[in-house]
């Protein structure tokens, strides 16, 4: 699927927002407990989002799961 420049910009902004939430969660004292409770698939999603430089680095299946995974484990880290 091809995206317009505006859509690509929005996707990259969304990725950066997710990464910012991840960094905030990592700085919490309970992230180890949250990370330990992750399934292998959730951990893979978390790590792929964290290491991506642009939205193009993220598989569409991971992209579809990212919001759920990040929200769930950021809340657990609080």
Q: Is residue 59 part of a domain?
A: yes
Q: Is residue 9 part of a domain?
A: no
> Would you state the pLDDT for residue 12?
97
The structural domain count of the chain equals: 1
Using left for φ > 0, alpha for ψ between -120 and 50, and beta otherwise, residue 52 falls in: beta
pTM: 0.89
Q: Is residue 54 part of a domain?
A: yes
> What range does the domain containing 31 cover?
17-76
Q: Is residue 69 part of a domain?
A: yes
Q: Is residue 56 part of a domain?
A: yes
Could you count the other beta carbons within 10 Å of the beta carbon of residue 41? 12
> Would you state the pLDDT for residue 21?
94
The whole-angstrom separation of Cα 38 and Cα 31 is 11
pLDDT of 29 over the 90 cut: no
> Would you state the pLDDT for residue 35?
85
Q: Is residue 44 part of a domain?
A: yes
> Would you state the pLDDT for residue 32?
84
The whole-angstrom separation of Cα 42 and Cα 10 is 24
The whole-angstrom separation of Cα 11 and Cα 55 is 6
């Amino acid at each position: 699927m091809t995206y317009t420049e505006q859509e690509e910009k929005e996707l990259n902004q969304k990725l950066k927002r997710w990464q910012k939430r991840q960094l905030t969660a990592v700085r919490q004292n309970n992230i180890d407990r949250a990370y330990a409770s992750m399934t292998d698939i959730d951990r893979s999603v978390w790590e792929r989002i964290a290491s991506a430089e642009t939205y193009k680095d993220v598989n569409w299946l991971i992209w579809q799961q990212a919001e759920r995974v990040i929200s769930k484990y950021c809340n657990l880290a609080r």
